[in-house]
Structure 1
Protein backbone atom coordinates (compact mmCIF):
# COMPACT_ATOMS: atom_id res chain seq x y z
CA UNK A 1 0.00 0.00 0.00
CA UNK A 2 1.36 3.36 -0.96
CA UNK A 3 0.81 6.39 1.24
CA UNK A 4 -2.00 8.42 -0.26
CA UNK A 5 -3.99 5.36 -1.32
CA UNK A 6 -5.57 5.26 2.14
CA UNK A 7 -6.33 7.70 4.93
CA UNK A 8 -3.55 8.74 7.30
CA UNK A 9 -5.17 6.61 10.00
CA UNK A 10 -5.23 3.53 7.75
CA UNK A 11 -1.63 4.18 6.65
CA UNK A 12 -0.56 4.37 10.31
CA UNK A 13 -2.32 1.07 11.13
CA UNK A 14 -0.87 -0.76 8.12
CA UNK A 15 2.60 0.59 8.92
CA UNK A 16 2.33 -0.42 12.59
CA UNK A 17 1.26 -3.94 11.62
CA UNK A 18 4.06 -4.33 9.07
CA UNK A 19 6.67 -2.96 11.48
CA UNK A 20 5.50 -5.33 14.24
CA UNK A 21 5.64 -8.31 11.90
CA UNK A 22 9.21 -7.40 10.98
CA UNK A 23 10.15 -8.06 14.61
CA UNK A 24 9.10 -11.72 14.53
CA UNK A 25 12.36 -13.67 14.60
CA UNK A 26 13.41 -15.91 11.73
CA UNK A 27 12.11 -19.42 12.34
CA UNK A 28 9.30 -18.29 14.66
CA UNK A 29 5.57 -17.68 14.18
CA UNK A 30 2.88 -15.76 16.00
CA UNK A 31 -0.85 -15.22 15.59
CA UNK A 32 -2.84 -12.42 14.01
CA UNK A 33 -4.35 -11.80 17.43
CA UNK A 34 -1.00 -11.51 19.13
CA UNK A 35 0.14 -8.86 16.66
CA UNK A 36 -3.11 -6.98 17.30
CA UNK A 37 -2.58 -7.27 21.06
CA UNK A 38 1.02 -6.01 20.81
CA UNK A 39 -0.33 -2.99 18.94
CA UNK A 40 -2.90 -2.25 21.64
CA UNK A 41 -5.87 -3.43 19.57
CA UNK A 42 -6.61 -6.97 20.83
CA UNK A 43 -10.07 -6.80 19.27
CA UNK A 44 -8.56 -6.42 15.76
CA UNK A 45 -6.94 -9.73 14.69
CA UNK A 46 -8.93 -9.76 11.45
CA UNK A 47 -7.63 -6.31 10.60
CA UNK A 48 -4.08 -7.68 10.89
CA UNK A 49 -5.11 -10.31 8.34
CA UNK A 50 -6.54 -7.60 6.09
CA UNK A 51 -3.19 -5.79 6.18
CA UNK A 52 -1.42 -8.97 5.12
CA UNK A 53 -4.00 -9.65 2.43
CA UNK A 54 -3.22 -6.22 0.95
CA UNK A 55 0.56 -6.53 1.25
CA UNK A 56 1.79 -5.86 -2.28
CA UNK A 57 4.65 -7.55 -4.09
CA UNK A 58 7.77 -5.50 -4.74
CA UNK A 59 8.00 -3.85 -8.11
CA UNK A 60 9.64 -5.98 -10.79
CA UNK A 61 9.94 -2.98 -13.09
CA UNK A 62 13.32 -1.32 -12.43
CA UNK A 63 11.91 2.03 -13.50
CA UNK A 64 9.22 1.91 -10.78
CA UNK A 65 9.82 2.25 -7.07
CA UNK A 66 8.53 -0.58 -4.88
CA UNK A 67 5.91 0.28 -2.26
CA UNK A 68 7.27 1.11 1.19
CA UNK A 69 6.00 -2.22 2.52
CA UNK A 70 5.96 -5.32 0.36
CA UNK A 71 6.20 -9.10 0.55
CA UNK A 72 10.00 -9.04 0.38
CA UNK A 73 10.47 -6.81 3.43
CA UNK A 74 7.57 -7.94 5.63
CA UNK A 75 7.83 -11.60 6.75
CA UNK A 76 4.11 -12.26 6.20
CA UNK A 77 4.64 -16.02 6.41
CA UNK A 78 5.34 -15.82 10.15
CA UNK A 79 1.75 -14.88 11.05
CA UNK A 80 -0.76 -17.73 11.39
CA UNK A 81 -4.10 -18.26 13.07
CA UNK A 82 -4.72 -18.70 16.80
CA UNK A 83 -4.94 -22.49 16.48
CA UNK A 84 -1.47 -22.69 14.93
CA UNK A 85 -2.93 -23.16 11.47
CA UNK A 86 -2.07 -21.57 8.19
CA UNK A 87 -5.24 -19.86 7.10
CA UNK A 88 -6.46 -21.03 3.70
CA UNK A 89 -6.51 -18.37 1.02
CA UNK A 90 -6.93 -18.94 -2.67
CA UNK A 91 -5.37 -21.75 -4.63
CA UNK A 92 -1.99 -22.83 -3.24
CA UNK A 93 -1.71 -19.85 -0.83
CA UNK A 94 -1.43 -22.00 2.28
CA UNK A 95 1.02 -24.42 0.67
CA UNK A 96 3.19 -21.47 -0.43
CA UNK A 97 3.22 -20.12 3.13
CA UNK A 98 4.08 -23.60 4.45
CA UNK A 99 6.97 -23.85 1.98
CA UNK A 100 8.39 -20.46 3.00
CA UNK A 101 8.14 -21.38 6.69
CA UNK A 102 9.81 -24.73 6.06
CA UNK A 103 12.66 -22.89 4.33
CA UNK A 104 13.15 -21.03 7.65
CA UNK A 105 13.39 -24.34 9.50
CA UNK A 106 9.84 -24.29 10.87
CA UNK A 107 8.24 -27.73 10.94
CA UNK A 108 4.87 -27.51 9.23
CA UNK A 109 2.61 -30.55 9.39
CA UNK A 110 -0.25 -31.34 7.06
CA UNK A 111 -3.43 -32.99 8.31
CA UNK A 112 -5.67 -35.49 6.60
CA UNK A 113 -7.83 -32.71 5.18
CA UNK A 114 -4.82 -30.85 3.79
CA UNK A 115 -4.65 -28.24 6.55
CA UNK A 116 -1.20 -26.97 7.53
CA UNK A 117 -0.27 -26.42 11.18
CA UNK A 118 2.69 -25.26 13.23
CA UNK A 119 3.44 -26.18 16.85
CA UNK A 120 3.25 -22.94 18.86
CA UNK A 121 4.99 -24.68 21.77
CA UNK A 122 8.09 -25.13 19.64
CA UNK A 123 7.94 -22.23 17.16
CA UNK A 124 5.65 -19.69 18.81
CA UNK A 125 6.74 -16.12 19.51
CA UNK A 126 4.57 -14.38 22.09
CA UNK A 127 6.42 -11.56 23.87
CA UNK A 128 4.44 -9.28 26.17
CA UNK A 129 5.78 -6.24 24.26
CA UNK A 130 7.54 -5.75 20.95
CA UNK A 131 11.33 -5.98 21.32
CA UNK A 132 11.63 -2.46 19.87
CA UNK A 133 9.46 -1.18 22.73
CA UNK A 134 10.91 -3.33 25.51
CA UNK A 135 13.07 -0.51 26.88
CA UNK A 136 10.13 1.87 26.86
CA UNK A 137 8.07 -0.05 29.42
CA UNK A 138 8.91 -1.32 32.87
CA UNK A 139 9.78 -4.97 32.77
CA UNK A 140 9.24 -7.59 35.42
CA UNK A 141 11.36 -10.62 36.15
CA UNK A 142 8.38 -12.94 35.73
CA UNK A 143 6.51 -13.14 32.45
CA UNK A 144 2.77 -12.83 32.78
CA UNK A 145 1.59 -16.39 32.08
CA UNK A 146 -1.82 -15.26 30.89
CA UNK A 147 -0.27 -12.90 28.34
CA UNK A 148 2.14 -15.58 27.12
CA UNK A 149 -0.72 -18.02 26.64
CA UNK A 150 -2.85 -15.48 24.77
CA UNK A 151 -2.78 -16.67 21.15
CA UNK A 152 -5.93 -15.15 19.67
Structure 2
Protein backbone atom coordinates (compact mmCIF):
# COMPACT_ATOMS: atom_id res chain seq x y z
CA UNK A 1 0.00 0.00 0.00
CA UNK A 2 2.83 2.37 0.85
CA UNK A 3 4.54 1.61 -2.48
CA UNK A 4 1.35 2.38 -4.40
CA UNK A 5 1.02 5.70 -2.59
CA UNK A 6 4.64 6.60 -3.37
CA UNK A 7 4.19 5.74 -7.05
CA UNK A 8 0.96 7.76 -7.18
CA UNK A 9 2.61 10.73 -5.43
CA UNK A 10 5.58 10.55 -7.80
CA UNK A 11 3.32 10.54 -10.87
CA UNK A 12 1.32 13.53 -9.61
CA UNK A 13 4.53 15.40 -8.76
CA UNK A 14 6.06 14.64 -12.20
CA UNK A 15 3.05 15.96 -14.09
CA UNK A 16 2.96 19.08 -11.88
CA UNK A 17 6.66 19.76 -12.45
CA UNK A 18 6.32 19.39 -16.24
CA UNK A 19 3.35 21.77 -16.34
CA UNK A 20 5.13 24.21 -14.07
CA UNK A 21 8.32 24.04 -16.09
CA UNK A 22 6.41 24.68 -19.34
CA UNK A 23 4.90 27.79 -17.76
CA UNK A 24 8.33 28.83 -16.45
CA UNK A 25 9.87 28.42 -19.92
CA UNK A 26 7.10 30.47 -21.53
CA UNK A 27 7.38 33.19 -18.86
CA UNK A 28 11.16 33.50 -19.25
CA UNK A 29 10.86 33.78 -23.03
CA UNK A 30 8.06 36.34 -22.85
CA UNK A 31 9.68 38.40 -20.08
CA UNK A 32 13.19 38.45 -21.54
CA UNK A 33 12.64 38.60 -25.31
CA UNK A 34 9.62 40.91 -25.58
CA UNK A 35 10.14 44.60 -26.31
CA UNK A 36 13.45 44.26 -28.15
CA UNK A 37 14.47 47.30 -30.20
CA UNK A 38 17.65 46.67 -32.19
CA UNK A 39 19.22 49.45 -34.29
CA UNK A 40 21.52 48.60 -37.19
CA UNK A 41 22.67 49.89 -40.57
CA UNK A 42 21.63 48.39 -43.90
CA UNK A 43 23.31 49.75 -47.01
CA UNK A 44 24.40 52.78 -44.97
CA UNK A 45 20.83 53.48 -43.90
CA UNK A 46 19.69 53.56 -40.24
CA UNK A 47 17.26 50.72 -39.55
CA UNK A 48 15.50 49.31 -36.52
CA UNK A 49 13.72 46.05 -35.82
CA UNK A 50 11.28 45.99 -32.92
CA UNK A 51 9.72 42.90 -31.38
CA UNK A 52 6.83 43.61 -29.04
CA UNK A 53 4.94 41.32 -26.63
CA UNK A 54 5.70 37.64 -27.26
CA UNK A 55 2.77 35.37 -26.43
CA UNK A 56 2.81 31.57 -26.34
CA UNK A 57 -0.49 29.68 -26.36
CA UNK A 58 -1.08 26.05 -27.28
CA UNK A 59 2.56 25.72 -28.41
CA UNK A 60 2.16 28.57 -30.91
CA UNK A 61 4.29 31.65 -30.37
CA UNK A 62 3.16 34.98 -31.81
CA UNK A 63 4.57 38.47 -31.70
CA UNK A 64 4.23 41.73 -33.65
CA UNK A 65 7.26 42.99 -35.59
CA UNK A 66 8.04 46.48 -36.87
CA UNK A 67 11.00 46.95 -39.21
CA UNK A 68 11.88 50.57 -39.89
CA UNK A 69 14.19 51.28 -42.83
CA UNK A 70 14.62 54.98 -43.47
CA UNK A 71 11.15 56.52 -43.60
CA UNK A 72 9.34 53.23 -44.34
CA UNK A 73 8.01 50.84 -41.71
CA UNK A 74 7.03 47.23 -42.40
CA UNK A 75 4.54 45.77 -39.91
CA UNK A 76 3.51 42.16 -39.50
CA UNK A 77 2.73 39.51 -36.89
CA UNK A 78 4.75 36.30 -36.77
CA UNK A 79 3.22 32.99 -35.69
CA UNK A 80 5.47 29.99 -35.09
CA UNK A 81 4.14 26.50 -34.33
CA UNK A 82 7.02 25.35 -32.10
CA UNK A 83 6.46 21.63 -32.67
CA UNK A 84 6.82 22.20 -36.43
CA UNK A 85 10.26 23.80 -36.29
CA UNK A 86 13.27 21.74 -37.33
CA UNK A 87 16.10 23.81 -35.98
CA UNK A 88 16.42 26.52 -33.34
CA UNK A 89 19.83 28.23 -33.09
CA UNK A 90 21.53 31.50 -32.19
CA UNK A 91 23.41 33.31 -34.94
CA UNK A 92 25.14 36.64 -35.28
CA UNK A 93 23.51 38.55 -38.13
CA UNK A 94 25.45 40.35 -40.82
CA UNK A 95 24.16 43.59 -39.23
CA UNK A 96 26.00 42.67 -36.01
CA UNK A 97 23.24 41.64 -33.59
CA UNK A 98 22.53 38.17 -32.21
CA UNK A 99 19.27 36.45 -33.09
CA UNK A 100 17.47 33.22 -32.31
CA UNK A 101 16.52 31.59 -35.61
CA UNK A 102 13.70 29.16 -36.27
CA UNK A 103 13.76 26.98 -39.39
CA UNK A 104 11.12 24.71 -40.86
CA UNK A 105 10.57 22.64 -43.99
CA UNK A 106 6.82 22.81 -43.56
CA UNK A 107 4.35 25.61 -42.98
CA UNK A 108 4.98 26.20 -39.28
CA UNK A 109 6.12 29.82 -39.63
CA UNK A 110 3.62 32.40 -40.81
CA UNK A 111 3.82 36.17 -41.31
CA UNK A 112 0.51 38.02 -41.26
CA UNK A 113 0.56 41.56 -42.65
CA UNK A 114 -1.87 44.30 -41.60
CA UNK A 115 -3.77 43.99 -44.90
CA UNK A 116 -4.48 40.31 -44.15
CA UNK A 117 -1.82 38.88 -46.48
CA UNK A 118 -0.36 35.61 -45.17
CA UNK A 119 3.16 34.48 -46.09
CA UNK A 120 4.72 31.15 -45.13
CA UNK A 121 8.38 31.46 -44.19
CA UNK A 122 11.16 28.87 -43.91
CA UNK A 123 13.25 30.95 -41.48
CA UNK A 124 12.30 33.52 -38.85
CA UNK A 125 14.40 35.39 -36.27
CA UNK A 126 13.97 37.03 -32.88
CA UNK A 127 16.71 39.65 -32.43
CA UNK A 128 18.52 39.73 -29.08
CA UNK A 129 20.07 42.68 -27.26
CA UNK A 130 22.82 40.29 -26.14
CA UNK A 131 23.75 36.63 -26.54
CA UNK A 132 21.24 34.59 -24.49
CA UNK A 133 22.11 30.89 -24.26
CA UNK A 134 19.38 30.38 -21.64
CA UNK A 135 16.68 31.57 -24.06
CA UNK A 136 17.96 29.14 -26.70
CA UNK A 137 17.93 26.27 -24.18
CA UNK A 138 14.39 27.18 -23.06
CA UNK A 139 13.10 27.35 -26.65
CA UNK A 140 14.53 23.87 -27.31
CA UNK A 141 12.95 22.47 -24.12
CA UNK A 142 9.62 24.09 -24.96
CA UNK A 143 9.79 22.67 -28.51
CA UNK A 144 10.35 19.19 -27.00
CA UNK A 145 7.33 19.56 -24.71
CA UNK A 146 5.22 20.76 -27.66
CA UNK A 147 6.35 17.83 -29.83
CA UNK A 148 5.26 15.39 -27.12
CA UNK A 149 1.87 17.11 -26.87
CA UNK A 150 1.34 16.98 -30.64
CA UNK A 151 1.83 13.19 -30.71
CA UNK A 152 -0.52 12.47 -27.79
Higher relative contact order, structure no. (Cα contacts within 8 Å, ≥ 6 residues apart): 1
Q: Taking structure 2 as the reference length, what is the TM-score of the superposition?
A: 0.28
Structure showing the higher strand proportion among its residues: 2
Q: Taking structure 1 as the reference length, what is the TM-score of the superposition?
A: 0.28
Larger radius of gyration: 2
